[in-house]
Structure 1
Amino acid sequence: MKTKTAKADAPRLDDQLCFALYSTSLAMSKVYRKLLPKLGLTYSQYLVMMVLWEQDGVTVTDIGDRLFLDSATLTPLLKRMETAGLISRTRAASDERQVIITLTKNGDTLRQKAMEMHGEVFCATECELDELIEMKEKLVNLRSKLAKNG
């Protein structure tokens, strides 16, 4: 009976930066999946809400730029959020091709609940604040380099 052995010339999964990033993203998503039902949001919806809590009344393009998503991905998501009463979508008077996204009262009300959730996410990381800040800065820097070369 032949047993499978690792090939010396094959890339090892645990040595790959891409896998470390991917599996960490999955673990972080799992933390959010437990918390986001309190807000009645999916993770993608939560990201859109954070953009709008920072600056309300922005275009779909602006949201897409912030989240690194195209309008084909965002449009169905935004339609579901509008149906849920979280946002409103209106055509810009100056350019009918642009759609302006604004928070409804219900959407704005979720802001405080989301602030409370941040402490739970921080605790789940079991990291010190300065460690998380440094890690985030390094990831943002890596993302910029990859985007430039991708």
Structure 2
Amino acid sequence: MNNDLLKLENQICFKIYTAEREITKLYRDLLKELDVTYPQYLVLLLLWEKHSLTVKELGQRLFLDSGTLTPMLKRMESNGLVERKRSAEDERSVIISLTKKGEALKEKAECIPSQLVDNISMQKEELTQLNKTLTSMLDLLQKHSDKR
């Protein structure tokens, strides 16, 4: 057996994991002014795009279960960023919408993607290719997961 296969430095999953942690650290600094966490920022990104979504839809789009998502949404609601309402069509479904305060953060957040790219210092073409590669990888992983 080739021992190089078990070297930490050869593990793609470890490189993705450590890159994610480092990117999250960068986001932590960039998000201080908004007073939101990185997962809350992801919720805001979706709501700025879609205006309102159910908890189930948010969970599916963010790959988060309701046990993780619900407490975060409650904190966001108590901070005045979102509101939670039961669906009139289905009482079991909770719809998450932005408040005026949550909507107003969009303007402050518009600089964050470019600031992140500046902090990473990679060429635009490299980042575009990385995004395509990760999207393709995620699609394949989801297909594999769906088969189980």
User: TM-score normalized by structure 1?
Assistant: 0.91
Structure 1 position 43, deviation (Å): 0.5
Contact 2:4–2:10 (CA<8 Å) still a contact in 1? no
Question: Which aligned segments of 4 or more residues in structure 1 are displaced greater than 4 angstroms?
Answer: none
In 2: Cα distance, 1:80 partner to 1:89 partner: 11
Q: As a proportion of its length, which structure holds more helix?
A: 2
RMSD, matched Cα: 1.4
Equivalent residue runs for 1:110-125 within 5 Å: 110-125=105-120
Equivalent residue runs for 1:1-150 within 5 Å: 8=3, 11-150=6-145
Structure 1 position 8, deviation (Å): 3.9
Structure 1 position 105, deviation (Å): 0.3
Structure 1 position 118, deviation (Å): 1.7
Structure 1 position 10, deviation (Å): 6.8
Q: Percent identity?
A: 43
Any gaps of 5 or more consecutive residues in structure 1? 1-6
Structure 1 position 127, deviation (Å): 1.1
- Paired residues in the alignment total 144
In 2: Cα distance, 1:9 partner to 1:16 partner: 10
Deviations 1:70-104 (A, max 9, x none): 11111000000000000000000010000010000
User: TM-score normalized by structure 2?
Assistant: 0.93
In 2: Cα distance, 1:21 partner to 1:29 partner: 12
Partner SS for 1:69: coil
Contact 2:87–2:93 (CA<8 Å) still a contact in 1? yes
> What residue identity is the alignment partner of 2:105?
L
Structure 1 position 9, deviation (Å): 6.8
Which has the greater radius of gyration?
Answer: 1
